[in-house]
Chain A
Amino acid sequence: GAGVSQSPRYKVAKRGQDVALRCDPISGHVSLFWYQQALGQGPEFLTYFQNEAQLDKSGLPSDRFFAERPEGSVSTLKIQRTQQEDSAVYLCASSSFSGGAKLQETQYFGPGTRLLVL
C-alpha cells in the first residue's frame, strides 16, 4: 500500500511569503504528526492530530505556524510571513494508534518537504 506522501518536496519562498505544506497519511491512520528538522539535527515535534482534532500544538514555534486536518485525513501545515529561520525539512508521520502514549505505535514518516526561505 501507499506510504505517507508529502507535497511539494521542495519549496523556495521569499521572506514574508506564506506557504502551505501538504501531508497525505496512510489511509485509515488516526494519528498524524508534524515535525521540523533543521539541517544536521533530529526532528522536533510541532503538532499532533487524532482524527480531525488537534490535541497537541505545543511545539509550534510561533503563531505564524498553523496546522489543520479538517476531515481527519489530509493535513496542511501553513506558515505565514516566512522567515529565514523557518528553513528546514518539514516531516509528516502517521500511525494507527488512537490514544494514550504517542510513541507506542509505529510512526510512518513521509519524505518531507524541504523549505528554503530566501
Chain B
Amino acid sequence: TQLLEQSPQFLSIQEGENLTVYCNSSSVFSSLQWYRQEPGEGPVLLVTVVTGGEVKKLKRLTFQFGDARKDSSLHITAAQPGDTGLYLCAGEDNYGQNFVFGPGTRLSVLP
C-alpha cells in the first residue's frame, strides 16, 4: 500500500506571511493532486501535477512535483484568511489502479 505523509499537521500563521506545506512518500506516483477542504464541505481540486520537476502556479499558490515523483510541495505567498482550510494531497500509482490521500495539513490564517 502506498502511503502519503503530510507536514506539518497543523499550521497557524498571520495574514501576509508565506508558508510551505509538504507531501511525501517512499513510492513513485504517476500523478499527484492537491485539494483544499473547508469544514462541512468536500475537497475541492486545486491542481494536478504529472511530470517530475513540474511547477504550477495558481495565483498566490505554487505547486511543485519532486523530480523523482515521490514528493510535492505547496507554497502560499502572502496568506489570507480565505486560505484557511485542510490541504490534502492525493497520489495515483503508476498503474492507475490505486490512489491515496494524505492526512492533510490544517492551515489557519489569522487576520
A contacts, CB < 8 Å to B: 4, 35, 40-45, 91, 93, 100-104, 106-107, 109-112
Contacts and interface: CB of A to CB of B under 8 A. Distances in A.
Contacts of B40: 111-112
Contacts of B43: 43, 91, 109
Interface string B19-44: 00000000000110100000011111
Contacts of B83: none
Contact of A103 (B44, B48, B102): B48
10 contacts: A41-B103, A42-B88, A101-B31, A103-B33, A103-B90, A104-B92, A109-B41, A109-B42, A110-B42, A112-B41
A42 B104 contact: yes
Interface of B: 4, 30-31, 33, 40-45, 48, 88, 90, 92, 96-97, 99-104
For A42, A101, A109, which residue has the most chain B Cβ atoms within 10 angstroms? A42
Contacts of B44: 109
A43 B88 contact: yes
Nearest to A56: B97
Given A43-B88, A91-B42, A103 B101 contact: no
Contacts, number: 57
Contacts of A35: 101
A4 B108 CA distance: 27
Contact of A101 (B30, B41, B103): B30
Q: Which of A43, A103, A107, A112 has the most CB of B within 10 A?
A: A103
B31 A4 contact: no
B42 A102 contact: no
A41 B104 contact: yes
Nearest to A48: B99
B92 A102 contact: yes
A110 to B, nearest CB: 5
B31, B88, B101, B103, most chain A CB atoms within 10 A: B101
A102 B31 CA distance: 10
Contacts of B102: 42
